Amino acid sequence: MINDSIRIGLVNDVSSLRRLSILSYNQLAHYDSPSCYKLCAISRAAGILASRKKSVKRGYPTREPYAFRFCIVSCYGFKIKNGGLEIRVARGKRFCVPLTRHTLTVVSRPGVEVRSFTLTQNRLSLCITRDVAPVESASTVGVDRNLRNLTVGNDEETVRYDLSETVRIARTTVHIVGSFKRNDVRTRGIIASKYGQRRTARTGHLLHTTTRTIVAVAVQRREAIVLEDIRGIRCLYRKGNGQGRMFRGRMNGWSFGEAQRQLEYKASWTGLPVIHLSRHETRGSSVTCPRCGERLQSDK
């Protein structure tokens, strides 16, 4: 259904959800599936088409989009019952997916609500929300996301969390993948993908441990988290700017976006406010000392 909706959108040059729904919904009538899954398939197809349209506007070459992974996504027509997730499969028929004890414990907490689910061939993901009381912050604390550490501090105290292990993991993964000698692009790509997933999982776990500690301390001290806008920083390390391949590789593997994502959702889960500073507000902050105001870099 997703691929049919994508084809309809490409033929009619449509990427908006409303227009694609009007064109695709009647075309999907031959599928023996509840209407809720058809609407979600159209929604996903609209997202894929919108992403492709953005890439085309930026001048990036794109292939014809196609969804390979089988999945069921829905935000209604399901319920948690008898220790499992009951979903609709046909008129008057439901299928129950058993849930683990930990998942049942989380979704049964007061104020927690399951908004949607995503079911693939070997995985079930639940999207949940929780009503939390906002934490009234008495002060603020800034989080500086660096390549090898996360530095948290304000005028009173500064704490540095070491993340140099993530750089070592990335360097080791690149070395292992670069040592492949097998003359089979498909097999080499599959093995490299597994090492890449392993690298992502290990890096994500290290960031999870660090960000969890940062948010816990901030909640205990009632400090709002302040983040700066460093989007587009990788444009400084493109090919031709004078840096070597290894240096650019390290910078392109810098997980500052993942660190921000984890800080934001963990702070929202506890009701802690997150303040985002604009580039204008943080301009020149790395040039002068935050304590004495002395200039740290020269104009030469």
In a domain, 248, yes or no: yes
Q: Are residues 212 and 152 in the same domain?
A: yes
Same domain, 165 and 265: yes
Q: Which among 68, 84, 104 is the end of a domain? A: 68
- Asked, for residue 123, whether it belongs to a domain, the answer is yes
* Closest to 113 (Cα-Cα) out of 86, 74, 135, 80: 80
Higher per-residue pLDDT: 248 or 87: 87
Judgement on whether residues 125 and 175 belong to the same structural domain of the protein: no
β-partners of residue 141 are 225
Instruction: Let me know whether 231 and 144 are in one domain.
Output: yes
Q: With pLDDT > 90 as the criterion, what percentage of the chain qualifies?
A: 43
pLDDT tens sequence across 56-91: 998 888 888 988 888 888 888 898 988 899 998 887
pTM over 0.85: no
Q: Are residues 174 and 254 in the same domain?
A: yes
What is the number of domains present in the chain?
Answer: 3
pLDDT digits (tens, 9 = 90+) for 119-170: 888 889 999 988 888 888 889 999 999 889 999 988 888 899 999 999 999 9
Q: What range does the domain containing 256 cover?
A: 139-277
Predicted local distance difference test score (pLDDT) of residue 232: 79
Domain presence at residue 183: yes
Kindly state whether residues 58 and 125 are assigned to the same domain.
no
d(Cα 2, Cα 68) in Å, to the nearest integer?
10
Token couple for 47: 């997202």
Residues 164 and 254 in one domain: yes
Q: Classify 228 as helix, strand or coil.
A: strand
Residue 297, domain member (yes or no): no
The mean predicted confidence, pLDDT, of the chain is 87
Cα–Cα dist 111/118, whole Å: 21
Where a domain ends, among 48, 68, 88?
68
Q: Is residue 292 part of a domain?
A: no
Can you list the alpha helix ranges (DSSP code H) found in 84-184?
101-107, 164-178
Q: What pLDDT score does 230 carry? A: 85
Same domain? 49 vs 170 = no
| Cα 75 from chain centre | 19
pLDDT in tens, 177-200: 888 887 888 888 888 999 999 999
Residue with tokens 């019952």: 81
Residues 19 and 55 in one domain: yes
Q: Is residue 258 part of a domain?
A: yes
Q: What's 159's domain CATH number?
A: 3.30.420
Same domain, 117 and 145: no
Q: Are residues 123 and 218 in the same domain?
A: no
Please indicate, yes or no, whether residues 168 and 269 belong to a single structural domain of this protein.
Answer: yes
287 part of a folded domain: no
DSSP letter for each residue of 234-288: GGGG-TTSS--HHHHHHHHT--HHHHHHHHHHHHHHHT--EEEE-TTTTTTTTTB
